[in-house]
């Protein structure tokens, strides 16, 4: 063992050059960025509703209440109940159903995206890193499945299996893992040639460890952005499928289902279609804006620019 | 028989480039074209050459980061190229690599401690886990950083410091051979000096052998015991550094060494600059004969028909030129 | 098309380029960063000045400021830059347009990335020429061939229609030089022109610049960190550290006997023919952090000769010999002692 009691080169220690930005700076920056602030708030609101639907909803989402049917927004029902957004053709409070619908949409979207991401990213990273036959097989599978008309396939599969939450998530997994796989494979190809991965190889790392410990953390940023966008895509898909009757089944609440049910009353009771539609629109919009912001925040240069525009300079002493 | 630490024979690395035309055969690009040399334990071998000479590819082949297409490499008396995946992985403990770009050779998501300890995670029998922190601390101090740097991330360091972290990482497994691929080229002059000194100190302390690849001739001259000059994938001259730099024999070596800028005006006045015309020919061209033919002022008939081999002379000198003969040290042979 | 002679302030008798107390400051999170902090120098026709420094010394920023290439909201420029008497700092765009190219020209470090990969080389060379003189494409192409021959690109008449990717690094640098010479400037500023090139190619490019300078009475300002290149090419040298000039003078004199500890340390850190296998001289510490410069002399923390007075006063550049200036307060003590053994 070499005697390492004395350091070799008499150089001074360099101070950390990084400016440490704290939470306060980020909070302040978000508050000044109105668009991101709106998007973040909306998404947080959705999450709150998803988790606390049972506590926050004023009424029951299911159950008939024919006395109070088709009431416009802001009306007070026969029994003195206040209906913020009106009632539907069966007398159910629209606001309540929106909240429960949010729970369904968000859960399906997030769960579907998470599962697709796990499967897709794993397949993509392994294909990109190992190359050869594995890459060929995976990528041809991706190409093939991407060529399928996803809506028709979804309808067909759901027709056979029946609708419902679980089947929806399954269909989404099968039809959406490819996007992640393609992106992950490209990222792995890039990372494979980078010096720090080669350094890991030269240190004797096995490929599994390299993919998990070295490549994955460094490619998370674009995957995260894609993930956010995919949630929006899945929420829209779920709305479409439920609208067509293949997704969530009545009497459960789902935004798409609510639009479908309110379609025939669009002239007399506009609120039945408008509010679910707006909910879908704002959800997808917020997620897209959030994805935009996530893209900026994960790239060091753009993050700096975003912060610099919104925080005041601090003069040094 | 005494065998050197590393012995390379006829190493080749070729790439197949798809050629123009739908059905024509792909062209062969010989990045490394039959290189042979050896490195003894504790020795420093310098490899110089310009872009396209294949020195970086050679470096990667030696570490098997890229698989050579031919030749033989013997490391620690074992056939290095024939090692299977697991044996190769184990053998990697003894050959470590220092990369050129300090900004991309460290994983940005790992702390310095994690970067250095990676070797011990991969080879648990090297060091018990409870000793990791202390040993990592010793290593960073060895390379001139502070123990408190262990918990910092690479982006908090400058280029020279990152390169030191890379060196500490390479030393973690106590290797016998360090391959430094342009390890100081991306650093400022004053920082280069610090890192070069560090390499020399480490060599003194640990007896590790170095293969130092660079395009800066003065640094190679300073640090290397022996130097090899490469051109288009081949070694054209090889020998003790001082000999090569003061008395180059091969025309390319002469031109290369004379082209380096010199600070001292007196020495500069005494030097003869040799300007070689033309450009580096494409490595795809398969010409018979010497590869340097198109730019050589000494060329004669034999040069276009027969490619010169690296002939070895006394005092371990080797030159691959038909015109460097037994009179390699004849004093009446001038620069032109 | 305005002629340079018609610009306000043009004075035949004034020095070709005169920079006086140029300061370039950037706003950042930690406050103002003085990338260039009071730099002054003069360039005469046919002269070659080399600006030497490491990263962060401000050498590139100072030259970009001369040509007005820094966008002024993040950068704040003060001081004076006069080209033949014409003031360039805060000059109107029309003045800058006229001076750029035909008065002062600049080439950059990595030639391959400075060329537009999707335009033919001949087009790029002749572009500014055609725009300024109103020539048509055919004339422009002829002129491009002339320029390419002037910079010794073989087979110019055919290669004028090639794209940048078909040229090697050294050739691309020559193309950049051809572009820079298109309007016959009086000064050529070259920012690390040979750093990305091989040694033999570097030699060729430097010989080319030297011959152009002699033949056309072209003044050269070379920015480099390579002291060897500076020693071989430059008449005068200016050493920069942390945005300030620390030493200037005739090249051979400065390198033979430096009058500033930084210059001396830089020289000793270069491997030398006589110094094999010993340790290279190092400069203690690490490169300066521009947001946290020390008080007084900015080299003080790393200087082996630092004294208490070095902390109190920020040294100015003052004359320390014939055609020499140094910004070291202890020049006389350290470098000019008869029995110095430093």
Q: Provide, as residue numbers in chain C, all residues whose Cβ is less than 8 Å from the Cβ of B144.
A: none
**Is B214 part of a structural domain of the chain?**
yes
User: What is the Cα–Cα distance from C84 to C9, expressed in whole angstroms?
Assistant: 8
Mean pLDDT taken over chain A? 83
DSSP letter for C21, please.
Answer: E
Extract long-range pairs of A295-303: CB within 8 Å, 24+ residues apart: A295/A221, A295/A222, A295/A225, A298/A220, A298/A221, A298/A222, A298/A224, A298/A225, A299/A221
Q: What is the percent of chain C with per-residue pLDDT over 90, rounded to a whole number?
A: 27
Confidence (pLDDT) at C30: 67
Q: Which domain holds residue B125?
A: 6-270
B224 part of contact set with chain C, CB < 8 Å: no
Are B303 and B233 within 8 A, CB to CB?
no
CB-CB neighbours of A149 under 10 Å? 9
Q: Exposed, middle or buried, C268 (CB in 10 Å: 0-12/13-18/19+)?
A: middle
pLDDT tens for A175-220 read 999 999 999 999 999 999 899 999 999 998 999 999 999 999 889 8
Q: Among B105-114, B125-134, B262-271, C91-100, which is the least confidently predicted range? A: B262-271
3-class SS at C223?
Answer: strand
- Residue-level pLDDT at A2: 34
Q: Measure the CA–CA gap between C166 and B35, rounded to whole angstroms.
A: 29
Of residues A248 and B134, more confidence is placed in: B134
Q: What is the pLDDT of residues A81-106, one digit of tens each?
A: 778 888 888 888 888 888 888 888 88
Q: Locate the chain A residue with the closest alpha carbon to C29.
A: A313
- For residue A54, the model assigns a pLDDT of 81
Q: Nearest-CA distance from A12 to chain C in Å? A: 5
- Residue A170's CB is within 10 A of a number of other CB atoms, namely 16
Q: From edge to edge, which strands make up the β-sheet containing B78-79? A: B27-39, B6-17, B70-75, B78-79
Name the percent of chain B lying above pLDDT 90. 35
pLDDT level of residue A63 (50, 70, 90 thresholds): confident
Nearest C-alpha in C relative to A21: C29
Indicate the average pLDDT of chain C: 86
Residues C127 and C160 sit within 8 Å (Cβ to Cβ):
no
Whole-complex ipTM: 0.85
The pLDDT of residue B289 is 77
Do residues C277 and B222 touch, judged by C-beta distance below 8 A? yes
Q: Is the pLDDT of residue B335 over 90?
A: no
Q: What is the mean pLDDT of residues B228-247?
A: 90
Is residue B33 domain-resident? yes
Q: Which two three-digit tokens encode residue A148?
A: 């399928």
Give pLDDT, residue A215: 93
Quote the DSSP letter at residue A83: E
Cβ atoms within 10 Å, residue C50: 26
Q: Residue B112: what pLDDT?
A: 93
pLDDT of residue A136: 95
A neighbours by CB contacts (3+ pairs under 8 Å):
B, C
Residue B334 has pLDDT above 60, yes or no: no
Inter-chain residue contact C168 with B279, CB threshold 8 Å: yes
Q: Does the beta-carbon distance from A10 to C284 stay under 8 Å?
A: yes
Residue A150 and residue A238: Cα distance in Å, rounded? 12
The model's pTM is 0.81
Number of domains in chain B: 1
- Mean of pLDDT values over B233-262: 88
A 10 A CB-CB count for C163 gives 15
What's the mean pLDDT in A231-241?
90
CA atoms within 13 Å, Cβ hemisphere of C175: 32
State how beta strands C17-28 and B318-319 pair.
unpaired
Minimum Cα–Cα distance from B162: chain A residue: A14
Hey, are the CB atoms on C292 and A315 less than 8 Å from each other?
no
Distance CA B335, CA C2 (A): 53
Write the CB contacts of A281 (distance below 8 Å, at least 6 apart in sequence).
none
Give me the mean pLDDT over the A217-225 stretch. 90
Q: Is C316 at the interface with chain A, CB within 8 A? A: no
C-beta neighbour count of A91 within 10 angstroms:
19
Decide: helix, strand or coil at residue A82: strand
Question: What string of H, E and C letters represents the secondary structure of chain B?
Answer: CCCCCEEEEEEEEEEEECCCCCCCCCEEEEEEEEEEEEECCCCEEEEECCCCCCHHHHHHHHCCCCCCCEEEEEECCEECCCCCHHHHHHHCCCEEEECCCCCCCCCCCCCHHHHHHHHHHHCCCCCCHHHHHHHHHHHHHHCCCCHHHHHCCHHHCCHHHHHHHHHHHHHCCCCCEEEEECCCCCCCHHHHHHHHHHHHHHHHHHCCEEEEEECCHHHHHHHCCEEEEEECCEEEEEEEHHHHHHCCCCHHHHHHHHHCCCCCHHHHHHCCCCCCCCCCCCCCCCCCCCCCHHHCCCCCHHHHHCCCCCEECHHHCEECCCCCCCCCCCCCCCCC
Q: Which residues pair with B213 in a beta bridge?
A: B47, B181
Q: How confident is the model at residue B329 (pLDDT cuts 50, 70, 90)?
A: very low
Chains that touch C (3 or more CB pairs under 8 A): A, B
| Average pLDDT over every residue of C283-299 | 81
Q: Are B98 and B56 in contact (CB under 8 A)?
A: no
For A201, the enclosing helix (H) or strand (E) is: helix A195-202
B-C Cβ pairs (cutoff 8 Å, strict): 108
Please report whether residue B132 resides in a domain. Answer: yes
H or E element at residue A6: none
Candidates B109, B151, B152, partner chain A, best to mutate (most A CBs within 10 A): B109
Q: Count other C-beta atoms under 10 Å from residue B123's C-beta.
A: 17
B38, part of any domain = yes
User: A113 in helix, strand or coil?
Assistant: helix
Interchain CB distance below 8 Å, B222 and C265: no
Q: How confident is the model at residue B171 (pLDDT cuts 50, 70, 90)?
A: very high
Give C198's contacts in chain B (Cβ within 8 Å).
Answer: 50-51, 215
d(CA C29, CA B52): 43
Residue C236 has a pLDDT of 93
Contact A199 B97 (CB under 8 A): yes
How many CA atoms are closer than 13 Å to the CA of B232, on its beta-carbon side?
A: 19
Average pLDDT over residues B213-238: 90
For B12-33, what is each residue's pLDDT tens digit?
998 888 777 777 777 788 889 8
Contact B222 C271 (CB under 8 A): yes
CA distances from A175 to A117, A179, A180, A248, C4 (A): 12, 9, 11, 18, 67
- Secondary structure (3-state) at C211: helix
Q: pLDDT value at position C1?
A: 59
Using pLDDT thresholds of 50, 70 and 90, give the confidence band for residue C27.
confident
Phi, then psi, of A3 in degrees rounded to 5: -80, 110
Instruction: Provide the pLDDT for residue C273.
Output: 60
Model pLDDT for residues A126-139, shown as the tens digit of each residue: 999 999 999 999 99
pLDDT single digits (tens) B311-328: 777 667 888 887 775 444
Which of A153-162, B12-21, B171-180, C104-113: highest mean pLDDT?
B171-180
How is residue C232 written in tokens? 């071989």
Higher pLDDT, C71 or A222: A222
B305 located within any domain: no
pLDDT in tens, B39-50: 999 999 999 988
Q: Is A142 exposed, middle or buried (0-12, 13-18, 19+ CB in 10 A)?
A: buried
Indicate the pLDDT class of residue A19, thresholds 50, 70 and 90.
Answer: low
B276 in a structural domain = no
pLDDT at A59: 80
> Count of A–C CB contacts within 8 Å?
31
Percent of residues, chain C, with pLDDT higher than 70 = 95
Q: What is the DSSP string of A223-250?
A: HHHHHHHHHHHHHHHHHHHHHTTSSSPT
Q: Encoding tokens for residue B300?
A: 């004669």
| pLDDT at site B186 | 81
Give residue A312's pLDDT.
58
Q: What is the pLDDT of residue B133?
A: 93
Question: For position B288, what pLDDT does the model report?
Answer: 72
> In a mutagenesis test of the C interface, which of B244, B248, B261 is the best target, namely the one with the most C β-carbons within 10 Å?
B261
| Cis bond upstream, residue A89 (ω within 30) | no
For residue B212, name the pLDDT band (cuts at 50, 70, 90): very high
For tokens 């070069």, the residue is B196
Nearest partner of A184 among A136, A233, A128, judged by Cα: A128
Section B88-117 average pLDDT? 91
Tokens of C321: 């010999």
Identify the CATH number of the domain in which residue B171 sits: 3.40.50.300
- Which pLDDT tens digit goes with each residue over C60-78? 888 888 888 888 777 889 9
Sorting pLDDT into bands at 50, 70 and 90, what band is B332? very low
Share of chain B above pLDDT 70, in %: 94
Whether A179 has its CB under 8 Å from any CB of chain B: the answer is: no
pLDDT at A3: 37
Average pLDDT, stretch B295-312? 77
Judge residue A245's burial from the number of C-beta atoms within 10 Å of its C-beta, 0-12 exposed, 13-18 middle, 19 or more buried: middle
Q: Does C256 touch chain A (CB under 8 A)?
A: no
* HSE-CB of A64 using CA atoms within 13 angstroms: 3
Whether residue B80 is contained in a domain is answered as yes
* CA pair distance A298, B178, nearest whole angstrom: 35
Residue A263's pLDDT band (boundaries 50, 70, 90)?
confident
B92, B143, B201 member nearest A204 (Cβ): B92
Is pLDDT at A35 greater than 80 in this prediction?
A: yes
| Pairing label, strands B177-181, B27-39 | unpaired
């Amino acid at each position: 063992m070499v005697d390492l009691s004395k350091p070799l080169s008499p150089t001074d220690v360099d101070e950390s050059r990084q400016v440490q930005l704290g939470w306060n700076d980020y909070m302040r920056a978000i508050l000044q960025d109105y668009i991101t602030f709106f998007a973040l708030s909306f998404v947080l609101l959705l999450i709150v509703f998803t988790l606390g639907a049972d506590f926050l909803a004023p009424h029951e989402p299911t159950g008939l209440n024919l006395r109070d049917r088709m009431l416009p927004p802001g009306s007070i029902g026969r029994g003195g109940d206040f209906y913020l957004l009106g009632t539907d053709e069966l007398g159910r409070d629209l606001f309540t159903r929106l909240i429960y619908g949010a729970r369904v949409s968000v859960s399906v979207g997030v769960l579907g995206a998470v599962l697709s991401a796990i499967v897709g990213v794993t397949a993509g990273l392994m294909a990109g890193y190992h190359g050869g036959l594995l890459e060929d097989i995976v990528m041809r599978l991706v190409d093939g499945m991407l060529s399928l008309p996803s809506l028709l396939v979804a309808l067909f599969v759901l027709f056979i299996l029946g609708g419902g939450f679980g089947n929806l998530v399954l269909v989404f997994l099968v039809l959406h893992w490819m996007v992640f796989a393609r992106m992950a494979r490209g990222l792995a190809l890039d990372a494979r040639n980078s010096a720090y991965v080669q350094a890991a190889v030269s240190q004797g790392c096995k490929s599994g460890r390299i993919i998990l410990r070295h490549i994955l953390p460094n490619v998370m940023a674009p995957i995260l952005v894609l993930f956010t966008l995919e949630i929006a895509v899945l929420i829209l898909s779920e709305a479409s499928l439920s609208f067509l009757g293949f997704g969530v089944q009545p009497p459960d609440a789902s935004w798409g289902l609510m639009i479908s049910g309110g379609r025939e009353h669009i002239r007399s009771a506009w609120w039945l279609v408008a509010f679910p539609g707006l909910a879908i629109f704002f959800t997808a919009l917020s997620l897209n804006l959030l994805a935009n912001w996530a893209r900026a925040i994960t790239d060091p240069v753009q993050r700096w620019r975003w912060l610099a525009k919104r925080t005041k300079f601090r003069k040094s002493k | 028989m005494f065998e050197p630490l590393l012995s390379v024979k006829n190493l080749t690395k070729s790439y197949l480039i798809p050629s123009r035309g739908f059905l024509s055969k792909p062209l062969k690009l010989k990045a490394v074209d039959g290189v042979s040399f050896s490195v003894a334990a504790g020795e420093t071998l310098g490899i110089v050459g310009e872009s396209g000479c294949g020195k970086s590819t050679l470096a990667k082949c030696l570490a098997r980061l890229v698989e050579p297409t031919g030749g033989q490499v013997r490391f620690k008396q074992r056939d290095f190229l024939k090692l299977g995946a697991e044996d190769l992985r184990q053998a990697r403990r003894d050959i470590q690599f220092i990369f050129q770009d300090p900004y991309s050779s460290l994983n940005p998501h790992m702390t310095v401690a994690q970067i250095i300890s990676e070797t011990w995670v991969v080879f648990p029998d090297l060091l018990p886990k409870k000793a990791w922190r202390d040993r990592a601390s010793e290593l960073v101090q060895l390379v001139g950083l502070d123990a408190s740097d262990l918990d910092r991330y690479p982006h908090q360091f400058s280029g020279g410091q990152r390169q030191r972290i890379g060196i500490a990482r390479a030393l973690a497994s106590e290797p016998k051979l360090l391959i430094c691929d342009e390890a100081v080229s991306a650093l400022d002059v004053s920082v280069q000096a610090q890192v070069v000194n560090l390499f020399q100190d480490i060599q003194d302390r640990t007896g590790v052998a170095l293969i130092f690849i660079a395009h800066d001739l003065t640094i190679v001259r300073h640090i290397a015991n022996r130097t090899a000059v490469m051109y288009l994938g081949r070694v054209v001259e090889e020998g003790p550094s001082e000999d090569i730099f003061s008395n180059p024999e091969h025309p390319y070596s002469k031109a290369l060494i004379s082209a380096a800028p010199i600070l001292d005006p007196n020495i500069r006045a005494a030097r003869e600059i040799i300007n070689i015309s033309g450009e580096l020919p494409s490595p795809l061209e398969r010409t018979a004969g010497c590869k340097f033919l198109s730019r050589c002022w000494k060329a004669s008939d034999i040069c276009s028909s027969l490619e010169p081999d690296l002939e070895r002379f006394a005092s371990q000198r080797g030159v691959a030129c038909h015109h460097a003969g037994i009179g390699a040290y004849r004093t009446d042979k001038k620069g032109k | 098309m305005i002629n340079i002679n018609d610009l306000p302030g043009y004075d035949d008798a004034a020095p070709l380029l005169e920079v006086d107390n140029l300061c370039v400051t950037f706003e950042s999170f930690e406050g103002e960063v003085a990338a260039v902090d009071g730099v002054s120098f003069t360039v005469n026709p046919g002269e070659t000045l080399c600006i030497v420094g490491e990263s962060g010394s401000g050498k590139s920023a100072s030259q970009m400021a001369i040509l007005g290439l820094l966008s002024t909201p993040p950068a704040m420029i003060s001081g004076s830059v006069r080209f033949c008497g014409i003031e360039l700092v805060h000059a109107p765009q029309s003045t800058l347009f006229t001076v750029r190219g035909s008065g002062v020209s600049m080439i950059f470090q990595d030639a391959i990335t400075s060329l537009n990969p999707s335009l033919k080389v001949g087009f790029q060379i002749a572009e500014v020429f055609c725009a300024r003189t109103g020539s048509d494409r055919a004339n422009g192409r002829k002129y491009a061939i002339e320029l390419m021959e002037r910079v010794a690109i073989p087979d110019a008449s055919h290669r004028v229609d090639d794209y940048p990717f078909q040229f090697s690094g050294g050739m691309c640098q020559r193309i950049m030089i051809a572009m820079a010479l298109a309007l016959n400037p009086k000064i050529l500023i070259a920012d690390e022109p040979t750093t990305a090139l091989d040694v033999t190619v570097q030699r060729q490019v430097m010989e080319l610049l030297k011959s152009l300078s002699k033949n056309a009475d072209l003044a050269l300002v070379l920015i480099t960190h390579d002291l060897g290149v500076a020693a071989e090419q430059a008449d005068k040298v200016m050493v920069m550290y942390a945005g300030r000039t620390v030493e200037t003078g005739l090249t051979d004199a400065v390198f033979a006997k430096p009058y500033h500890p930084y210059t001396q340390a830089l020289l000793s850190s270069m491997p030398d023919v006589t110094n094999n296998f010993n340790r290279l001289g190092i400069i203690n510490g690490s490169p300066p952090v521009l947001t946290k410069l020390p008080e007084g002399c900015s080299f003080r923390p790393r200087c082996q000769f630092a004294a208490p007075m070095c902390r109190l006063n920020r040294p100015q550049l003052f004359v320390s010999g014939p055609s020499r200036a140094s910004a070291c307060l202890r020049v006389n003590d350290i470098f000019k002692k008869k029995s110095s053994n430093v």
